Amino acid sequence: MASSSTNIDLSEPSFCVVSGASQGIGRAIAVEIAKCLGPDSLMLLLARNNEELAVTAGLCESENVKVVCNAVDLSTATEELMMDILQGAISGRQVDEFAHALIFHNVGSLGNLAIETSRMENIQELRKYYDLNVFKVISLNTQFLKLFEEFEEKVIIVNITSLCAIKPMGGMAYYCSGKAAREMYFRVLAEEKKQIKVLNYSPGPVETAMIDNVLEEAINENLRDVFTSFRNQGTLLKPEITAKKCVKVLLSGKFSPGEHVDYFDDE
């Protein structure tokens, strides 16, 4: 990681958004970052499953942190709805009350694992995948930036990326291309907006439902072998472990704008 001169101190009131917060890495990150937020902080959790969001909220809420949940399907949400959700969450407060404005973009899906890359031709399916994993992530991020456009120096953005964003993995063309496009967007944003802190964090191989999905759906034998090896060798990370590393990397501030930092990178 590149070095930076300042740590990030979240001991003052902060507004924090976490997408894909109903399970796995998203839930773990929400719980971990909530421990760091100062008094009068506010957290907005986004995902489709309201019941699971409530579970995450229960794990995050404290004397310091008020939690608001919104069960929204970001793949179909309009820009107007996204802004309404953000403004609704901070209703009764002013944006200048917050010392920091954080957003963790964790929402994501694997895409079609049952088709060879050379035979990808279902444009409607591709559009649906990119809507959730790229386009709507950009839209949500834009609405967040609009909300804090007069206070960009307060903004901290963490994109949950993957090694697949920079290294091809056979059988995962949807996932790899989506992660690559998404990460590059945030790298360009970081290049343009030097006052905004932007981190692309790759969590490593994590024990989530994604592993089961790959083993059940992938037709690429090498891909199945890789994930079977992860499971058999016990090398999968717990969501809580990689979430701790993510927050540690973030608070250290030792990353260059838009840098791709992997769980296994040296600190």
Q: Is residue 106 in some structural domain?
A: yes
86 lies in some domain: yes
In this structure, is the dihedral angle defined by the CA atoms of residues 148, 151, 156 and 161, taken in order, positive or negative?
Answer: positive
pTM over 0.85: yes
Q: Are 247 and 36 in contact (CB under 8 A)?
A: yes
Domain total in the chain: 1
**Which residues share a beta bridge with 103?**
17, 157
Q: Is 215 within the bounds of a domain?
A: no
Q: Provide the pLDDT for residue 231.
A: 86
Tokens 């070095």 sit at which residue?
3
Tens-digit pLDDT string for the chain (267 aa): 765 558 999 999 999 999 999 999 999 999 999 999 999 999 999 999 999 999 999 999 999 999 999 999 999 999 999 999 999 999 999 999 999 999 999 999 999 999 999 999 999 999 999 999 999 999 999 999 999 999 999 999 999 999 999 999 999 999 999 999 999 999 999 999 999 999 999 999 999 888 888 889 999 999 999 989 888 888 899 999 999 999 999 999 999 999 999 999 976
Specify the DSSP class assigned to residue 165: G
Q: What per-residue confidence (pLDDT) applies to 212? A: 85
Exposed / middle / buried, residue 170 (Cβ in 10 Å: 0-12, 13-18, 19+)? middle
Q: Rounded to 5 degrees, what are φ and ψ at 238? A: -75, 145
DSSP assignment of 199-225, as one string?
EEEE--SB-SHHHHHHHHH---HHHHH
Give the type of residue at 150: E
Candidates 214, 217, 199, 191; CA nearest to 253 is: 199
Q: Are 261 and 200 in contact (CB under 8 A)?
A: yes
Which tokens in the block code for residue 27? Answer: 């839930």
Give the domain range for residue 76: 14-205+239-262
DSSP 238: P
How far is CA 122 from each of CA 66, 113, 133, 173, rounded to the nearest angstrom?
A: 43, 13, 17, 13
Q: Is residue 91 situated within a structural domain?
A: yes
In a domain, 144, yes or no: yes
Cα maximum dimension of the chain: 54
Beta-sheet pairing, 155-160 with 197-202: parallel
Does residue 30 belong to any structural domain of this protein? yes
- Domain harbouring 113, CATH code: 3.40.50.720
DSSP 8-state code for residue 157: E
Q: State how far the Cα of 13 lies from the Cα of 100, in Å rounded to an integer.
A: 7
Residue 8 within any structural domain of the chain? no
Q: For residue 220, is it within any domain?
A: no
